[in-house]
Amino acid sequence: MRLLSRLSLLLFLLSFAGCQSEQRDSLHQMEHVTPAHWPNDLQDAALKIKDRFDHLQSVGPEPTADDKSKVVQKELAEIVGWMPEVAADSFIDESQWEPVNEASLELSASLEKLSLPIAPATATEITQFVQLLSKTAQLEAANKPPVPNGTKSGEILVPESQTDATNEGES
């Protein structure tokens, strides 16, 4: 019985042995990796989606094994799916974000069933989405706040708790 319990403990500990082969100096050794095709902003996203759409339009109905169409198709779906986050992290307001979010959800559903060649309805959907992103990017440019006078690039204005609470109370 004692041997059995010792064996169980050993097995239990061994099951986690693969998790870490050596002690780490910092917990930071495995950082989050941002995918290479993550868009920098809305305009960049519109370009990235258009590039991938153009590529998929140019390939035949049955791509060869070494064709990169599958990767492009996957990246297209991923970029479209990321758009609510990318748009929310820009200088547009909620009313400008909502159409992007809704269109992204709808297009993502269509892209899940995507097969080549791209159906005309889906192609129209993608084109309209690219146009929406370009239009929203223009709105964002108009919304962008100017850099305050006397603030150097990279300088952080520490938010004051008192000021912030007062603002919320006022609104």
Partner 1 sequence: MTHAMLSGLIRMAQGLALASPTLLVGLLVAGVFRYYLTPAQLRKLFGGETLASLPISWLIGMLLPVCSIGVLPILMQMHRARVRPGAMTAFALSAPLFNPLSLLYGLTLSRPIVVTAFALCSLAVVTLLGTIWDRFAARGGSDSAAKEEEEDEPSRVIGVQRLLAMIVMITREAVGFTGVLVLVALLGLGLLGAFLPYGALQNSFEMDDVWAPARMTFLAIPIYATPMLAMSQLGMMFQHCNSPGAALALLLLGTGVNLATLVWLVKKYGFKSTLVWFTSLVLIVLALSYAVEKPLTLPGAEPAGHTHAFDGYATPLHSKSEFQWAIIREALVKPLSIAEFAAVSVLSGLVALGLLFRLLRIHEERFHRDAAQSIGTYDRIVPAPLLAGVVLLGLIAFSVVACFAYYPHPSESLEEIASVRSEVFSAARSGNAEQALHWIGLWDDWSRRLEVATFLRSGHVRPYQRMQGYIVRKKLELLEHELEEEPLDQKHVNAVLMDLLESDNRWRTAFRPAKIDP
Residues binding partner 1 (CB under 8 A): 9, 12-13, 15-16, 18-20, 23-28, 30-33, 35, 77-78, 81-82, 84-85, 88-89, 94, 97-98, 101, 108, 112, 154, 156-161, 164-165, 168-169, 171
- Whichever of 34 and 64 has its CB closer to partner 1, that residue is 34
Q: Strands, DSSP E only, in 76-146?
A: none
Tokens of 101: 């979010």
Q: Give the span between the Cα atoms of 16 and 10, in whole angstroms.
A: 10
Residue closer to partner 1 by CB (options 27, 61) is 27
Nearest to partner 1 of 105, 119 (CB atom): 105
Q: Which is nearer to partner 1, 88 or 119 (CB)?
A: 88
The amino acid at residue 147 is: V
For residue 62, CA distances in Å to 3, 56, 133, 156 come to: 60, 11, 30, 53
Name residues whose C-beta falls within 8 Å of residue 170's C-beta, 6 or more positions apart in sequence. none
Shortest distance (Å) from residue 82 CB to partner 1: 8
Nearest distance, CB of residue 29 and partner 1, angstroms? 8
CB of 60 to partner 1, least distance (A): 26
Nearest residue (CB) to partner 1, 120 versus 159: 159
Tokens of 3: 């041997």
Give buried/exposed letters for 108-118 (b at 16+ CB in 10 A, else e).
Answer: bebbeeeebeb
Smallest gap from residue 156 Cβ to partner 1 (A): 5
Chain centre to alpha carbon of residue 142: 23
Handedness of CA 31, 36, 40, 46 (dihedral sign): negative
Least distance from partner 1 to the Cβ atom of residue 97, Å: 6
